[in-house]
A = this chain, B = another copy of it.
Amino acid sequence: MTELLQKNIAAHISLSNPETEAFCNLFQHEIIKKRSFLLREGEVCKFEGFVIKGLFRVYHIDKDGFEQILYFAIENWWITDIDSFTNETPSQLFIEALEDSEVLLISKKDKEFAYSNMPEIEKLFRVMTQKTHVALQRRMIDNLSKTAESRYIEFSEKYPQLIQRLSNIQVAAYLGITNVFLSNIRKKIALKK
């Protein structure tokens, strides 16, 4: 059940097999049906999660009712609202399964336990947080400097397997444009070829 998680950890830090297993045993397996929620706005996020099957979107709904997607998570990705989880404050985010999915969840208490007893775990999450931060910095720069068309092309090229599993509505909400405009972009690209 935790093979994928074990591999994921090994990709970030070196940790002995027994320690890796001990840490993985702190996770609970959960099955999440398509269109159901791991987290809703206003709830305190009680978990940090690792996707072993399926697809999630992490998004915000603004005061005008528009959805902005912060990120998607497929197999081998982590999901949480790090703000709500860390500070135990009500979340401003929704985490929703876009496909029938399976996750491994660790509670705050068990994560604290790991931090206290396994110094390498502190490093694991520092390294992971740094990596996601760097990725978000790049995305921020792209959003500041690039047109929607090139953001779409680059997203398609970077995550070709992901984009096939997403509706245009989801992709548009990630890129920060309307699905109507995304349709125009797609048509324009198709005509070029």
Contacts and interface: CB of A to CB of B under 8 A. Distances in A.
Contacts of A141: 60, 62, 68, 70
- As for how many copies of this chain the complex holds, the number is 2
Nearest to A125: B126
Interface string A46-70: 0000000000000010101010101
For the residues of A in contact with B, the DSSP-based class is helix
Nearest to A58: B137
Contacts of A130: 82, 86, 129
Contact of A136 (B64, B126, B137, B176): B137
A141 B134 CA distance: 16
Contacts of A139: 140
Contact of A137 (B64, B70, B122, B125): B70
A144 interface: yes
B86 A145 contact: no
A145 B68 contact: yes
B83 A134 contact: yes
30 contacts: A60-B141, A62-B145, A64-B145, A66-B145, A68-B145, A70-B137, A70-B140, A82-B130, A82-B134, A83-B134, A83-B137, A86-B134, A115-B123, A122-B122, A122-B123, A125-B126, A129-B129, A129-B133, A132-B133, A133-B133, A136-B136, A136-B140, A139-B140, A140-B140, A140-B143, A143-B143, A143-B144, A143-B176, A144-B176, A145-B176
